[in-house]
Structure 1
Amino acid sequence: MKRARSAAEPEDSDQDGTRSQRGIQSLDSTGALLDALLQAARPLPLGDLARLAGMPAAKAFPHLVSLQKIGMLARDAQGNFFPGALALDLGLAALQRLSPLREAEAEVVTLVQATGLSVALAVFGPLGPTVVRLEESSRPQHVSLRIGTVLSMVHTAIGRVCAAHLPPDMLAGALAMDAIRMEGAQPDSVSHPDGSLRHDYAERLRQIRTLSLDQALGRPVPGIHTLAAPVFNHAGQLALVMAVMGSSGSFDTAADGVVARLLRAAAHNVSWRLGAFAQASPQAGGQSDGNGESDENGQNDRND
């Protein structure tokens, strides 16, 4: 005789979990409202929120009341709904468990497959930009890069992307160490005695922030081209740098070329997963406009 189903037992599930479990349909509607608010990225009144979620306002309102009660949503004096304290706590908890390297892993593999090029990840470490992940292409190429390699902030694309997004005080110290550590890099090669950046280097960093990309064509390794792009965290700070590398002539190195677009898209995807929702590259670095005036972070450059 078939036993009666327990009231607490999901109707569609077996003990071994082979069948998909039935959810609570009303929560699907609740989720649609939360997703609509997230996509709007601004407080919304009841009517607009219901419309974006694809349901009548009369149906949406009870869900919104319940979400307010548990702290997932709050409501301002104008009646607009916005994320509440519980939503913020959940978001922070999710961000705290994120690992930039783990979030970037899938993009690294996809980028290697899509471009046929080697892909590297680097972070800014105590000694400077440091390679922490390298997925080599199946194509024969002589890339003298290994995990743990510390790169120049002046002569490499990865290093310059780091430099473009460092606060001015960190950048000054990093460049001083770079000059000592890197053979052939003179202490005054990119900065003046007063710490201001030479105009050509400051202009290069501004260009990197504008394009979210830098190129190193045949330098510092002859015959190897590199494109590098920044990845940001939820605070708009540089989390890591993603780069593609290949032999000269083996791929399009143009800033608006196919490979550059794939690289920027991959970097943007990782940034999004880390909580950086801006559509354009955050202007995290601080260089001046070339006339000796500083931008938001106060880093000056001079025209000589």
Structure 2
Amino acid sequence: MNDTTTSSANANANADAKQQRGIQSLDSTGDLLTALAAAGKPLSLRDLAAAADMPPAKAFPHLVSLQKIGLLSRDASGCFEAGPLALELGLIGLQRLSPAREAEPEIVDLAVSTGMSVAMAVLGPLGPTVVRLEESARPLHVSLRVGTVMSLVNTAIGRVFAAHVADDVRQGLLTQDSLRLAGAERAEMFASPSDAKATKLAPPYADRLAQIREQGVDTALNKPIPGIHTLAAPVFDHTGSIVLVIALMGTAGSFDSDTHGGAAKTLLAATQRLSRRCGYVAVAA
């Protein structure tokens, strides 16, 4: 290689490096947008600057520019919120979004990082239905297959759906639970099982659903398959509706089934990332 060719190659490499560095001021602008999105509500200049960890005097010029191009606007009280361009971009993203497709890499990563099998379920016309199953390095010999419909009462996947769907949806699904994997009889579901129009849930079941909503995860020990433990957690979309449930499954002797343990934290981190990519914003009370 001659000197001219070498110089040209070095120049191209330097040019590529410069192009990848980005614009530092835009990084600061991105910090402000990220802080506003995380808040999930309009913020004043002072609060938004504090959330982005920068002085208000530095934040203000960025916010003015964001207003000019329509990414931000200000409400009647002067707080900053998403502008018309931000809403248009968000709608484009939501139209192209496929929660199941977004979940695919997370499922594979979970199987590799935990050494467990991973299942994904959606709410189909027959109930919570497994649509993806990633086997661990040591596959579990279980009857669970793609297409299996899970009980809303006696499986972790089903209970997570039951905890987050609307009451009327849950009511309709429960009437056919006995037909699903590990399905429940009426006495397990309702406080007055003899009443054909019973709507009040049996206290143990109602308490379990409330616990799932509080903890964000559910566990099933040796059920519905003896020797197999399961942890399941929800994925939400931009409306706050549940769209998927992801579950970890492993043998009882090698499974951390604690809902506050390492496996549960890893699962929740994955489902929370997925929920965020689906447009869900969790706002602290």
Aligned match for 1:250, one of 251, 254, 266: 254
User: 30-39 vs 20-29, which deviates more?
Assistant: 20-29
| Paired position in structure 1 for 2:108 | 109
| Paired position in structure 2 for 1:223 | 227
Closer/same/farther in 2, CA of residues 60 and 263 from structure 1, 3 Å limit: closer
Q: Which consecutive residues of structure 1, in runs of 5 or more, have no partner in the other structure? A: 1-12, 283-304
Closer/same/farther in 2, CA of residues 278 and 28 from structure 1, 3 Å limit: closer
Q: Which consecutive residues of structure 2, in runs of 5 or more, have no partner in the other structure? A: 1-10
Residues of 2 paired with 1:50 and 1:190: CA distance?
50
Aligned match for 1:203, one of 207, 219, 244: 207
Q: Secondary structure at the match of 2:254?
A: coil
Give the C-alpha shift of residue 278 in structure 1: 1.2
| Paired position in structure 2 for 1:159 | 158
TM-score, normalisation: structure 1: 0.77
The structure where helix makes up a greater share of residues is: 2
Aligned match for 2:264, one of 260, 265, 275: 260
| Paired position in structure 2 for 1:241 | 245
**Cα pair 1:180 1:187 within 8 Å, conserved:** no
Q: Secondary structure at the match of 2:175?
A: helix
1:151-209 deviations in whole A, cap 9, x for unaligned? 12222111111111121111111111222456774344312333221111111111111
Counterpart AA for 2:206 = A
Counterpart AA for 1:153 = L
Runs of 4+ in structure 1 displaced over 6 angstroms? none
**Cα pair 2:40 2:283 within 8 Å, conserved:** no
Counterpart AA for 1:82 = E
| Paired position in structure 1 for 2:279 | 275
Mapping of 1:33-72 within 5 angstroms?
33-50=32-49, 60-72=59-71
Residues of 1 paired with 2:252 and 2:171: CA distance?
32
Q: Secondary structure at the match of 2:188?
A: coil
Root-mean-square deviation (CA), in Å? Answer: 3.0
Residues of 1 paired with 2:137 and 2:32: CA distance?
46
Counterpart AA for 1:92 = L
Give the C-alpha shift of residue 243 in structure 1: 0.5
Percent identity, please.
59
Counterpart AA for 2:160 = V
Give the C-alpha shift of residue 138 in structure 1: 0.9
TM-score, normalisation: structure 2: 0.81
**Cα pair 1:50 1:57 within 8 Å, conserved:** yes
Residues of 2 paired with 1:96 and 1:68: CA distance?
25
Closer/same/farther in 2, CA of residues 240 and 39 from structure 1, 3 Å limit: closer
Mapping of 1:31-180 within 5 angstroms?
31-50=30-49, 60-180=59-179
Counterpart AA for 1:176 = T
1:22-72 deviations in whole A, cap 9, x for unaligned? 756654454344334334444344455456556665665444333223322
Closer/same/farther in 2, CA of residues 183 and 106 from structure 1, 3 Å limit: closer
